[in-house]
Structure 1
Amino acid sequence: MTTKRMTVGQALVEFLANQWTVDGDVRERTIPGVFGIFGHGNVAGVGQALKQLHVERPGLLPYHQARNEQAMVHQAVGFARMHRRRATFASTASVGPGAANMLTAAALATTNRLPALLLPSDTFATRVSDPVLQQLELPHDTSIQVTDAFRPLSRFFDRVDLPEQLFSIALSALRVLTDPAETGAVTIALPEDVQAEALDVPEEFLRPREWHLRRPVPERGPLDRAVAAIRAAKRPVIVAGGGVLYAGAEGRLDEFARLTGIPVGTTQAGGGSLVWDHPQYLGGIGATGTAAANAIAAEADVVIGIGTRYSDFTTASRTAFQDPRVTFVNVNIASFDAYKHGSQLPVVADAREALEALTAALSGHSVKSAYAERIATEKARWDALVDETFAPSGLALPGQPEIIGTVQRASDPTDVVVQAAGSLPGDLHKLWRVRDPLGYHVEYAFSCMGYEIAGGLGVKRAAPDRDVIVMVGDGSYLMLHTELVTAVAEGIKIIVVLIQNHGFASIGHLSETVGADRFGTLYRRLDRDALDFQGDEILPVDLAMNARSYGIDVIEIDPTADAIPALARAVATAKASTTSTFIHVNSDPLIYGPEGDGWWDVPVAQVSTLDSTRAALDSYREQRARQRPLLG
């Protein structure tokens, strides 16, 4: 057996550079690059290995800087979604705080079922210098380190305590990373001394290796039972989730919906499964869904979930489906999701393969004409309502829905809108008119404030020919904006539309619904008499100046009657530019979008001295009465 003398870091880096994902006729690098911030934990290991590979074989595994460890994993996730989970980036961090900074992003990747390879460094395996700088010390268990916190957040976790363990660990990590049913955060903890240790590496370990994505077909029994339920349904509805897009099944869904006439509502991850003007598409479904989709869902007798994990937002906290005998047909590549809500009709299969089989089995079957007319009526009513919402108001402080409409009209069909947290996901789910399968990128499984700019960079890396429009509120922007420096450093063009409303608009509204009257949600100076931040003095924070300080082009929209036309012109200017542009627009956070008739279960204090809270409790109990176990 031919071997090569290498360090663990060098062997791992060269191994990663030679991994390939194969999905049918598509073959691409599983790990096309590495994000990293170097410290004493990884500079001599993975850092040195990346430098050496860069000198010996430039471009084989490019290294990219990042300004925050959490953000570099967000970039990897954004990239992975655009590549339909076929590729992602690796992210390396130093020990202690560097590794800990990646924990939030690890949870985000796993929750979203999106692959990300994490290489956090660890303290000395030999403990020869115990305790080292940034080492976590727990008297009851001195073996526990920061990297152990990745265990519950990862789909795969292991630690390379001995150089010889690298081979089995690396191969196991790539197996999970490329498994459609198991993927998420994949973590290999690397002690700083082990990274630099030498071993004899078999040439076979370093050769190109292909990982073929599984596309399991539905088994005959579950498929037949699902077909029988759909044929017997009078009011079926489809809930399309992210699995449709990851399987490249949007074309199959289009065909299936047209042939059967069954209406479709999408989850946040499923946005783009159908284009907005498709005759069977009713928009988003659930707590942030459209009135059209939720009206149909409320009466559905069979719910066909395709590639959805059925979050509380999708089911409107189990109030969306009100038929007392509702049945769930759950198509999912992961059995964990296929069996949700007690479904007796799980179909564990790839979304594309399942839709192809369902289309063939239901040939000639379609919904009744009366139901088809109902679907068309609800869709037309909602589309007209959105048109009204998007109509120019002439307000100096336009509402967020009008801003969304302006940006949407100024965008091109293949542009990608990126968002994650606050009130924007709800408004986008209802209002954004998606015209391309990959044009809607809202991270809502973890709904992580600060994802937007970093995730947008990942999207742009994956789709350099598309314009990427990052929409973000001031609250989320303040959480993690430093990756604008990365955009400038690498010349990556994104368009950032910052909606300034001086606080947490989403939580402010939610605070009102639970009777807390927007307490702690406004950006105001401390009122030293009242001892709170509820006064009228807005903070003199200039976020446009902040963005400008990073070297990015900035366009400020003055709060005048010309604000909306000026915003449209700014988006056009940004799209024509070859560099990143930051557009700052002020809004009125109290102007809401059209009601979608969805509900979200957020408990209200059962005992209170506040009248507002007691009133909120009465409303909450009314909604809770509509909750159902949804046992299918």
Structure 2
Amino acid sequence: MTVLTVAQATVRFLEAQHTERDGVETPFFAGCWGIFGHGNVAGVGQALLEREQSGDPSHLRFFHGRNEQAMVHAAVAYARQRDRLAAMAVTASVGPGATNMVTGAALATINRLPVLLLPGDTFATRVASPVLQELENVQQGDISVNDIFRPVSVHFDRIDRPEQLASALLHATRILTDPAETGAVTLALPQDVQAESYDFPDELFARRVWHVARTVPQPAALARAVEAIRSARRPLVVAGGGVTYSQANDALTAFVEATGIPVGESQAGKGALPYDHPQSVGAIGATGTTAANALAEEADVVIGVGTRYSDFTTASRTVFQDAGVRFVNLNVSAFDTHKHSAIGLVADAREGLTALTDALDGWRADEAYTARATELAAAWDATVERAYTGEGAPAVADGLAIQSQVIGAVNELSAPRDVVLCAAGSMPGDLHKLWRTRDRKGYHVEYGFSCMGYEIAGGLGVKLAALDQEHAEGAAARDVFVMVGDGSYLMMNTEIVTAVAEGIKVIIVLVQNHGYASIGALSQSLGSQRFGTAYRYRTERGLDGGTLPVDLAANAASLGADVLQVAGIDDFRAAVLTAKESTRTTVIHVDTDPLVPAPDSPAWWDVPVSEVSVLESTQQARRVYEDHKSRQRPYLTPASDTKDHS
């Protein structure tokens, strides 16, 4: 038995946890992010300090963040880059420090990515209640602000007594390491309990390995899936993030090469195949390519692999238009396998694809169909090339760059293993359509929550993961390119300071649009005339004056980054090469014309338009909306084809 405080025991436990998959063991908790206040400074903070000064090389690393939400973003990005086999903890003080993490918790849970949140909480003993930052609820005496974590966490617990800690930590880690259940796990730690001592069993701190299983498909379900695929004349794979997390890219390649089935990719699934693979038709859905969406419209069997079918992936249930379209969903989560009344195949993506390949031995899609998919993809790639060079684009003022040219320059000048990262605005859609993926971990766009402000913190997390893999596995180096617009940059740029403090290099491409380019374009398409989407001075008419004199380049420099301020695409290309050669975090500030869109497909996204309005622009947008709405499909097949409880 060992006498430790609750906080000390928590840190010691986290240090002892490992994952194993395919015979490879990995320390699971790679570090703890923290900002300290009265709710955790004498508890978790003291415990981390004690371990850091212990001289033990296995001590839990501490990372000092500058914003609580950003710390969670960095931890989540780390876990995604490590294929969910390693994760991080995040601690914050009681009250606003804790609740600042809620947005990050939602992002983690929506994207099915593991992060352990350790928010400080008010006194369990209530001896001095109400304490600073305590929520007093007249109906519930046991509630605190941390209860807001409940709906955005896959698991929530509050440790009111030291005796509860062992079972709580074990249960939390089991969930975090389970690919079917993972997300944000919150363990609220009252500040008095953190500092309370207890005689903990030594077994709690022994090295523990969590085996990440590769679930194999149930034979009867596999047979049903195979039967459906064999009946298809126009099959299509939709590859989601599960392909990458399962490291199933080679299995997917073998499957499509054996069957000739083309592959469209969701945001999380982009990179499932290299962009130039003959069966790759690129992005699918609302931000999809003309190739993928043309095939989706006529597909009679859609094979979803590791996708949760968000509205962007299905273009709000309009992209799959065949009258008898059926779905086969391969997913580690049973919840996702039954979406769209699919034939469900609950299994690890790699194991499921391997089983399908074996069971379909000798069967191939029609060669003419496969060849047509390759031709459609080649036509879209030619469109991408024109977008990269700016060929055919309308003239822009003052030699400004076009966003698609910026993307093209980064794609061309980055190394194949480098990572491009983004989260919100117009950039994710353009990247989804235009980025030529060359490495399975080279594309990182957070689009489950599409959280403005994720970008810089996420880039820091990805770079930390890449450095850890270089150290542990001898992997080749990766540069991380963070693509961020001025809107997201202004919401959260603080982790530039953390990157500088840690001596970590991230390349930040800061696109200056003087407002929200994406929402501005959406507003105009919905008849709302870009209202409230530009950064302008207020006049008598509203916020429609001149451009605000905000100097984001100077701001980035003040945070410690090197800054390259460029005008025009030629200067931008030179700046990318300079940033690649540097060893420091570098911000490339470039002005673009937000009114020049990237090439697109006709796919739609369901954003309701006002049913009545005095504005002609809104009336016209409503007519367009109703036309698209008429194409929505329920994707329901007879129940006898979908019920599967075997």
TM norm. shorter chain > 0.5: yes
Partner of 2:479: 467
Partner of 1:436: 439
Partner of 1:15: 13
Offset from partner CA, 1:276-307 (integer Å, 9 cap, x none): 00000011100011111000000000000000
From 574, 594, 615, give the equivalent of 1:569: 574
Q: Which amino acid aligns with 1:520?
A: G
Partner of 2:642: none
- Counterpart check, 1:591 vs 2:596: yes
From 497, 522, 534, give the equivalent of 2:544: 534
- Counterpart check, 1:482 vs 2:481: no
Q: Following the alignment from structure 2 to structure 1, what is the Cα–Cα distance between the partners of residues 537 and 24?
A: 55
Superposed, which structure 2 residues align to 1:361-380 within 5 Å?
361-380=359-378
Report the Cα offset of residue 446 of structure 1. Answer: 0.3
| Contact 1:430 1:596 (C-alpha < 8 Å) held by counterparts | no
Partner of 1:225: 224
- Counterpart check, 1:624 vs 2:629: yes
- Counterpart check, 1:512 vs 2:524: yes
From 547, 557, 560, give the equivalent of 1:548: 557
Q: Following the alignment from structure 1 to structure 2, what is the Cα–Cα distance between the partners of residues 58 and 517?
A: 60
Q: Following the alignment from structure 2 to structure 1, what is the Cα–Cα distance between the partners of residues 78 and 367?
A: 43
Report the TM-score, using the length of structure 1 for normalisation. Answer: 0.97
Q: Following the alignment from structure 1 to structure 2, what is the Cα–Cα distance between the partners of residues 245 and 156?
A: 24
Report the TM-score, using the length of structure 2 for normalisation. Answer: 0.95
Report the Cα offset of residue 55 of structure 1. Answer: 1.4
| Contact 1:21 1:211 (C-alpha < 8 Å) held by counterparts | yes
Report the Cα offset of residue 436 of structure 1. Answer: 0.1
Q: Following the alignment from structure 1 to structure 2, what is the Cα–Cα distance between the partners of residues 258 and 507?
A: 40
Partner of 2:48: 50
Partner of 1:524: 536
- Counterpart check, 1:113 vs 2:112: yes
Partner of 2:60: 61
Partner of 1:167: 166
Report the Cα offset of residue 597 of structure 1. Answer: 2.0
Q: Which amino acid aligns with 2:19?
A: T
| Contact 1:73 1:116 (C-alpha < 8 Å) held by counterparts | yes
Q: Following the alignment from structure 1 to structure 2, what is the Cα–Cα distance between the partners of residues 274 and 372?
A: 16
| Contact 1:290 1:597 (C-alpha < 8 Å) held by counterparts | no
| Contact 2:81 2:465 (C-alpha < 8 Å) held by counterparts | yes
- Counterpart check, 1:605 vs 2:610: yes
Partner of 2:503: 491
Q: Following the alignment from structure 1 to structure 2, what is the Cα–Cα distance between the partners of residues 506 and 179?
A: 36
Q: Following the alignment from structure 2 to structure 1, what is the Cα–Cα distance between the partners of residues 352 and 7?
A: 42
Q: Which amino acid aligns with 2:203?
A: E
Q: Following the alignment from structure 1 to structure 2, what is the Cα–Cα distance between the partners of residues 350 and 250?
A: 12
Q: Following the alignment from structure 2 to structure 1, what is the Cα–Cα distance between the partners of residues 558 and 414?
A: 27
Partner of 1:282: 281
| Contact 2:260 2:367 (C-alpha < 8 Å) held by counterparts | no
| Contact 1:392 1:564 (C-alpha < 8 Å) held by counterparts | no
- Counterpart check, 1:398 vs 2:401: yes
| Contact 1:399 1:590 (C-alpha < 8 Å) held by counterparts | no
Superposed, which structure 2 residues align to 1:251-266 within 5 Å?
251-266=250-265
Partner of 2:181: 182
Q: Following the alignment from structure 1 to structure 2, what is the Cα–Cα distance between the partners of residues 599 and 392?
A: 25
Report the Cα offset of residue 373 of structure 1. Answer: 2.3
Aligned residues: 622
- Counterpart check, 1:447 vs 2:456: no
Partner of 1:135: 134
Unaligned runs of 5+ in 1: none
Report the Cα offset of residue 137 of structure 1. Answer: 1.6
* SS of equivalent residue, structure 1 residue 238: strand
Q: Which amino acid aligns with 1:120?
A: P
Q: Which amino acid aligns with 2:528?
A: A
Report the Cα offset of residue 392 of structure 1. Answer: 4.4
Partner of 1:582: 587
Q: Following the alignment from structure 1 to structure 2, what is the Cα–Cα distance between the partners of residues 508 and 279?
A: 36
Superposed, which structure 2 residues align to 1:65-84 within 5 Å?
65-84=64-83
Superposed, which structure 2 residues align to 1:315-334 within 5 Å?
315-334=314-333
Report percent identity of matched pairs: 59
Structure 1: 4+ residue segments shifted above 2 A = 392-395
Q: Following the alignment from structure 2 to structure 1, what is the Cα–Cα distance between the partners of residues 264 and 322?
A: 17
Q: Following the alignment from structure 1 to structure 2, what is the Cα–Cα distance between the partners of residues 272 and 379?
A: 15
Q: Following the alignment from structure 1 to structure 2, what is the Cα–Cα distance between the partners of residues 349 and 376?
A: 29
Offset from partner CA, 1:393-445 (integer Å, 9 cap, x none): 69511221111111111111000000000000100000000000000000000
| Contact 2:91 2:120 (C-alpha < 8 Å) held by counterparts | yes
Q: Which amino acid aligns with 1:47?
A: G
Q: Which amino acid aligns with 1:569?
A: A
Partner of 2:235: 236
Q: Following the alignment from structure 1 to structure 2, what is the Cα–Cα distance between the partners of residues 363 and 592?
A: 44
Q: Which amino acid aligns with 2:41?
A: V
